[in-house]
Structure formats: structure tokens, C-alpha cells
Amino acid sequence: MAYELVEVRTEGGKVGIVTLNRPKQLNALNNQLMDELGAALRAFDADEAIGCMIVTGSEKAFAAGADIGAMATYTFADVYKGDYITRNWETIRSVRKPVIAAVSGFCLGGGCELAMMCDFIIAADNAKFGQPEIKLGIIPGAGGTQRLPRSVGKSKAMDMALTGRMIDATEAESCGLASRVVPLDKLMEETLGAALMICDYSQIAVMAAKESVNRSFETGLADGVMFERRMFHALFATTDQKEGMDAFVNKRKAQFKHQ
């Protein structure tokens, strides 16, 4: 697929990086951009050499939301029958290797929802998060009212969804939306550091950890714990478990083969 609205590159052939690239519209998300993002992530996911992915935007905006201009004239019939806007938004959820959101600048509406669909968020100190849809006479439509309360709790999620106010990076970290905050000029360095670290671990264990944590969002505690236990048991069938534990016992660095 030819990419126009995203830039795709790798770091060391191991980390797949997708940069949203609609700068004039602050990376407002339209169908074409979401198609390209989904295709890029799927291609990286299928690439044996890639161990982790990063989705990022520009210094000014990770993404300022879904494209309001494109949505402005839609009718209920358009959006319902065509499944517009949301049709291609969930592709990212089918990706099995980790995806980190590296967020600087505005991360609003669908942009915030996209960041929350990633596995974790590293925020630059200039990041601003919000669900301002209420100001447009709508509500979040790509998981904002569902994923936000699961990560920040009901009160903060209600505050953000009902008032539409933005929170800064410090508030986002303190409420659990972002996993860490770093200076803007260190955002990619720090995110790549995390991604490369993940690439060096057993890919099977990494995928199992992602699947298991995601299970906690989608099931009750007893089922989730049972799922985790079976995944844990299954990892004892891997060569990487033997390697990881042998390396620890013999005080050397593990060399995982992803098998």
C-alpha cells in the first residue's frame, strides 16, 4: 500500500514506527489515514523481524481528533449504514505485538482514543489529552467512554467527557492515562529505548503478556486469573523460558530465539 498520510520506517529493522502525517490539520484522523495506519501496523505485525511498534505524531499534535470537516455533513443513516468513522478504527486492536503511543502536543477526541488503543502511552511534557466531543454535540465514538474510565477511573473520565477539558501530561501520568512523562526532546529516544528493550525479550512471552493484560479489560477477575495461569503454564513449553532461566542461573545475558 502507498502511504500518503502516514510515514513508515523501522529502527534497527526491529521497531516499526508509524508517524501520523497530516500536519496542516493537526493529524485529524480521516478514513484514508486510518486505513493507512491499519495497513502499516498489520504489515509490521506480520514481519518476523519486528518486535514492537510505535505510533506517533508531530510535536504540535499526536492527533486533534477525527476529521470534523469530513464528519460535519454526515447523517445518522450515513454513519450507521456505512459504519463510517469507526469502520477502520479497531484494526489496531487485532495487532498482537506491542504498540506504544509516543504522544506530544494535542491528543484529543479520536486521537486520545487511538492512543488508548495502543498498549501504553509515553507522553512528552507538552502533551494535552482530552475528549472534547461534547463541545461538538456528540460523544466519543471509538472507545473513549469505555477505555478512559478503565484507565483513569469514573470521576476523572466523567470530568473529561462532560466538560471536555484538556489535561496536561503531569495530570495524565498521575491519573494513569500515560505510563511516563518525558521532556519533549527525549520523547522518541525514550520510546525507542522501551521498544528496543521489548524487542530483546522473548516475543512469545511479550505477546502472551499483552494478551493477558488485555484480558483483564474484557473479563472478570476469576476468568482473567485462569487465563493468565494457563498462559504462564504454556510458556514453560518454550525454548525461551529455558534460555531465560538458564541465563539467570548462570549470570549471563539471555539470548532469546523467540521460540
Closest distance of CB 170 from ligand HXC, Å: 19
Query: Which amino acid belongs to residue 124?
Result: A
* Shorter beta-carbon distance to ligand HXC: residue 111 or 244: 111
The minimum distance between CB 31 and ligand HXC, in angstroms, equals 11
CB 110 within 8 A of CB 148: no
Q: Give the orientation angle of helix 203-218 with respect to helix 239-249, to 10 degrees.
A: 110
Site for ligand HXC in 118-157 (CB under 6 A): 132-133, 136, 140-142
Distance CA 128, CA 222 (A): 36
Q: Among 86, 122, 90, 88, which residue's Cα sits nearest to residue 107?
A: 122
CA 112 to chain centroid, in Å, comes to 10
In the complex with ligand HXC, which residue's Cβ is closer, 26 or 181? 26
Between 167 and 206, name the residue whose CB sits nearer to ligand HXC: 167
What is the pattern of x (binds ligand HXC, CB under 6 A) and - over residues 56-95?
--------xxxxxx---------------xx--x------
For ligand HXC, give the closer residue by CB, 72 or 237. Answer: 72
Q: Distances from the Cα of 155 to the Cαs of 28, 115, 145, in angstroms?
A: 27, 20, 12
CA dihedral 123, 128, 131, 136 (to 10 degrees): -150
Using CB under 6 A as the binding criterion, the count of chain residues that bind ligand HXC stands at 23
Q: With binding defined as CB under 6 A, does residue 177 bind ligand HXC?
A: no
Residues annotated as catalytic are 66, 110, 113, 133
CA–centroid distance for 56 within its chain: 9
Phi, psi torsion values for 173, nearest 5 degrees: -70, -40
Q: Is 107 in the site for ligand HXC (CB under 6 A)?
A: no
Q: Does 44 bind ligand HXC (CB under 6 A)?
A: no
Residue 241 touching ligand HXC (CB under 6 A): no
* Cell 502507498 belongs to residue: 2
The residues binding ligand HXC (CB under 6 A) are 25-26, 28, 64-69, 85-86, 89, 106, 108-110, 113, 132-133, 136, 140-142
